[in-house]
Amino acid sequence: MSGTDPNPRNPENTALPREGPRTTLSPRETVVLFPTYGHFSDGDGTWRIPVSGAVFEPGVVTVRRRILLRLLRRVMNVPPEALESSIFRERIGAFIAAAERGRSIALQSGSIAFPLRRKTRRDGRFSGVLRLAAGDLDRLVRHGQIADGWLNFDVALPDGDQRAFGGRAALLPARGASVISDIDDTIKHSAVWSRRALLANTFLREFEYVAGMAERYQVWAAGGAAFHYVSSSPWQLYGPLADLQRCAGFPEGSFHLRAFRLRDQMLRGVPLLRRHGKLAAIRRVLRAFPERRFVLIGDSGERDPELYGAVARRYPRQVASIHIRLVHGRPWSDERGARAFRRIDRDRWSVFEDAAELPDRLTAAGGSPLA
């Protein structure tokens, strides 16, 4: 199949020639694309790749944003000079940037372009589904756009715009093992139970990963497991979180972060981390791979046990096991475990304090390997 669509109406997000639509940005606007996954659809014989990202413009701090920053400093209870640190300036940048609404987005991989039907929303975010026919996939492999199971794509920009905004998608087979991992207090120390400590760990301190977790994840990845990092962390933290993932040696995987506005956090008292949206993200992954087996990794700091228990009851054939890291911010009890994992066999879930307590290989109840 060539890159030209034989249907002149061009269904949404099917492959187009490279000279197709482009994303027009001002010189100050930037785009972030979140790592994602692709799955094969037997229904139409195409690979479907859900994509998401955001368009924003780092700019001058307005009076309204200065007020928000003062409120943030007050909540963290730190002196004014704390907001001048390089860490704070880096972390706060995407939170106070101007979101760009109504931008048309087109992506490309090699000579194939994909326009997204929906424009960027009020918060600058966008999403869509790319579709690749088998012939297009073969062509991208030949041209080096697919390597080690990952598809590389970029924002399609007009001629003369030399900037590059890249994204990646893991093209996963229908069967296999996947790990769905939380981030905060699961692989990164965050202290989500304390609003002040959470804000300080988010904006003022170097991220600190949980010892041993990267090494255990690497063993699972070497055994064939794919990874999906599903978190209630704001999407604005994707850059620092991706740096942590790479520097600490966590396996590459898709990222699923939540929509967030600093204004809501400061003026309405909305928690920095909320579980709303996390369940929906997990469900989308499970629905995309009905024949894969999943291991869910979280922590006891907030509601991971209850959320994962609900997922396991809804998808009993797909969820092979659940592992909950115990944190000091919210005490664990047998009663909580019994409630969270009711009607789930005891050998399908466990709690742990040290990464060494996690299994060396991923198995289902009874010991059969998942990958």
pLDDT digits (tens, 9 = 90+) for 302-311: 899 999 999 9
Last residue of a domain, one of 145, 171, 197: 171
Q: What is the predicted pLDDT for the residue at 215?
A: 97
Burial class (CB in 10 A: 0-12, 13-18, 19+), 368: exposed
For residues 107 and 238, membership in a common domain is answered with no
Instruction: Show the domain range for 43.
Output: 16-58+100-171
Q: What is the predicted pLDDT for the residue at 9?
A: 34
Last residue of a domain, one of 118, 141, 171: 171
Q: Which residues pair with 130 in a beta bridge?
A: 49
pLDDT (tens place) for every residue of the chain, 371 residues total? 333 333 333 344 555 444 567 898 989 999 999 999 999 998 888 999 999 999 999 876 777 778 888 888 888 889 999 999 999 999 998 888 888 999 999 999 988 889 999 999 998 999 999 999 988 988 899 889 999 999 999 999 988 899 999 999 999 999 999 999 999 999 999 988 888 888 899 999 999 999 999 999 999 999 999 999 999 889 999 999 999 999 999 999 999 998 866 655 554 444 544 555 799 999 999 999 999 999 999 999 889 999 999 999 999 999 999 999 999 877 799 999 999 999 999 999 999 999 999 999 887 665 666 76
For residues 198 and 122, membership in a common domain is answered with no
pLDDT tens digits, 128-168: 999 999 889 888 998 899 999 999 999 999 888 999 999 99
Give domain status of residue 7, yes or no.
Answer: no
DSSP string of 189-213, one letter each residue: ---TT-HHHHHHHHHTS---BPTTH
Q: What is the dihedral of CA 187, 192, 196, 197, to 10 degrees?
A: -30
Residue 154's Cβ-side half-sphere holds a number of Cα atoms within 13 Å equal to: 15
For residues 224 and 278, membership in a common domain is answered with yes
For residues 138 and 264, membership in a common domain is answered with no
For residues 186 and 330, membership in a common domain is answered with yes
Overall number of domains in the chain: 2
For residues 236 and 302, membership in a common domain is answered with yes
Q: What is the CATH number of the domain that holds 124?
A: 2.60.40
Average pLDDT along the chain: 87
- Which residues have C-beta within 8 Å of that of residue 293, sequence separation ≥ 6? 176, 177, 178, 318, 319, 320, 364, 370
For residues 187 and 150, membership in a common domain is answered with no
For residues 233 and 247, membership in a common domain is answered with yes
Last residue of a domain, one of 117, 142, 171: 171
DSSP assignment letter at 346: G
Give domain status of residue 286, yes or no.
Answer: yes
Q: What is the predicted pLDDT for the residue at 239?
A: 95
Distances (CA, A) of 191 to 123, 234, 297: 27, 15, 17
Is pTM beyond 0.85 here?
yes
Q: Is 162 helix (H, G, I), strand (E, B) or coil?
A: coil
Give domain status of residue 80, yes or no.
Answer: no
Give domain status of residue 182, yes or no.
Answer: yes
For residues 207 and 294, membership in a common domain is answered with yes
Q: What is the predicted pLDDT for the residue at 7?
A: 32
For residues 238 and 158, membership in a common domain is answered with no
For residues 185 and 167, membership in a common domain is answered with no
Q: Is 173 helix (H, G, I), strand (E, B) or coil?
A: coil
Q: What is the predicted pLDDT for the residue at 265?
A: 55
Q: What is the CATH number of the domain that holds 301?
A: 3.40.50.1000
Consecutive H or E run containing 337: helix 334-340
